[in-house]
Amino acid sequence: MAKNNLSRWVIVGVGFMILGLVYTIRSTIGLMMPIWSEEFGWSRSMISSAGALCLVVMAAIAPFAGSSVDRYGPRVFVVGGLLAVSLSAVLMATMQSPWMFFIAFSLLSGIGFGVVAMHVIVATVSPLFDKNKGLAVGIATAGSTAGQLLIIPIVAIFLVSFGWRETYFIYAAACLSVAIICWKLLANTAPKRSTTDEKAKSTFWADARYLVKKPVFHAVFWSFSLCGFTSTGVVETHLMPYLAACGYPTLDGALSYGFLSGFNMLGMMLAGYLSDRINKVFLLVAIYVMRASSFIILLFVVGDYAALALFTIMFGIFDYSTVTVTAGIIVEHLGQKMLGITMGILAAGHALGAAAGAFYGGVLFDLFARYYEMWIASIALALVAGVISFAIIFMKPTPRLVN
């Protein structure tokens, strides 16, 4: 498909760039939470609820986006998603009330994030490679954290120097610029299908019915949903507020999150490299166990920069590294032609799990002014995800050839 117009590695680079921008914008809610609480008097549970609703909207969009990219290519969906995020940033820069925040972030950003997300990039990149598939997917999806390594600390500087409204205007301009670039770079990337392919092509609902009958789908779905709770839900939304509550300055919290994102990038690339060479199930189990261990360290970061640094490194390596390995397991067990829709549905489960984590953390903080119970729950759920993933070792691959 796109091989005839753009080199495979250019498409990997485009995916990296897009995710770097969009996932950074998603992360700003944690950085802005204390500011909005002080300026508007908004409770953290209200802000967390908006974040949770955004994830619910993403969950509703994701399965259809993943399936559609398999059929029509990524160009229209990626550009449309970036435009939705750009408009959302403009509205957030001018908002004065909670309902404006919910429309801008929960609805418009949710739509954009549901389309411009890792499952779409995975579905775009994976079919282009026979060798080094895991590495290519790992590099492309690493953009989801690589951009944050530089941009989150810059955002913190902008907040101090200019203000949060100006920061969102800059985001809007950046998204619009990248959308224009992607419209040109992703031209003619729609898959070419023969008449026979069109007749054999399944519908979204037929594919979904096929998936729910497969035990391996349930294993990856439920483990990935718990992954959402223990990554995007609790860390992306509540890590920086937690560090602020522990007495760390805003810039220190932002720098910590930025460095975490850097190790996240390395972890995704390393996981992609290893998934081409070792048993993917054992690798996924190890990732969840190590993630659980990192939360134990997070319980002891108060006044201890060394513990915070250790958590930053450890959680960063074992955070989004699940994506590449999970995609590899799907290809092995269900087939390449089921990757887009499967990753889309898994992204929906991940978003719902993240919504639960974001909401749970906000409510707990409002009730007890602490996050202790949230981190304990994260330890337990990460271990449960590891146990569920281990069960895949006993499941027989049954790749589907029809799409």
Is position 284 within any domain?
yes
Whole-number pLDDT of residue 199: 41
Say if residues 262 and 317 touch (Cβ distance below 8 Å). no
Say if residues 22 and 112 touch (Cβ distance below 8 Å). yes
- Higher model confidence: residue 76 or residue 292? 292
Say if residues 145 and 24 touch (Cβ distance below 8 Å). no
How many domains does the chain divide into?
1
Taking 80 as the threshold, does the pLDDT of residue 159 lie above it? no
Taking 50 as the threshold, does the pLDDT of residue 198 lie above it? no
Taking 50 as the threshold, does the pLDDT of residue 3 lie above it? no
b (16+ CB within 10 A) / e for 87-114? bbbbbbbebeeeeebbbbbbbbbbbbbb
- Return the CATH number at 113: 1.20.1250.20
Is position 174 within any domain?
yes
**Most confident stretch, 28-37, 114-123, 340-349, 374-383:** 374-383
Is position 399 within any domain?
no
Is position 339 within any domain?
yes
Whole-number pLDDT of residue 196: 46
Burial degree of 7 (CB within 10 A; 0-12, 13-18, 19+): exposed
Which structural domain, as residue segments, surrounds residue 112? Answer: 2-394
Confidence of residue 220 (pLDDT cuts 50, 70, 90): very high
Whole-number pLDDT of residue 1: 43
Is position 294 within any domain?
yes
Confidence of residue 312 (pLDDT cuts 50, 70, 90): very high
- Higher model confidence: residue 85 or residue 207? 85
Is position 37 within any domain?
yes
Taking 60 as the threshold, does the pLDDT of residue 257 lie above it? yes
d(CA 295, CA 262): 18
**Most confident stretch, 160-174, 242-256, 319-333:** 319-333
Q: Which two tokens stand for residue 192?
A: 């070419």
User: What is the DSSP code string of 331-377?
Assistant: HHHH-GGGHHHHHHHHHHHHHHHHHHHHHHHHHHHHHHS--HHHHHH
Length of the chain in terms of residues written:
403
Nearest to 345 by CA among 163, 120, 165: 120
Say if residues 175 and 80 touch (Cβ distance below 8 Å). no
State what percent of residues in the chain have pLDDT above 70: 91
Is position 263 within any domain?
yes
Is position 403 within any domain?
no
Q: How many CB atoms lie within 10 A of CB 256?
A: 23
Average pLDDT value for residue range 172-197: 73
d(CA 296, CA 283): 21
Whole-number pLDDT of residue 150: 67
**Most confident stretch, 118-132, 239-253, 282-296:** 282-296
pLDDT tens figures, 80-110:
999 999 999 999 999 988 999 999 998 999 9
Q: Which two tokens stand for residue 26?
A: 């998603």
d(CA 104, CA 91): 6
CB hemisphere CA count around 379 (13 angstroms): 13
SS3 for 366-378, per residue?
Answer: HHHCCCHHHHHHH
CB hemisphere CA count around 247 (13 angstroms): 6
Whole-number pLDDT of residue 93: 92
Confidence of residue 383 (pLDDT cuts 50, 70, 90): very high
Say if residues 59 and 347 touch (Cβ distance below 8 Å). yes
CB hemisphere CA count around 6 (13 angstroms): 23
Average pLDDT value for residue range 41-48: 83
Whole-number pLDDT of residue 121: 85
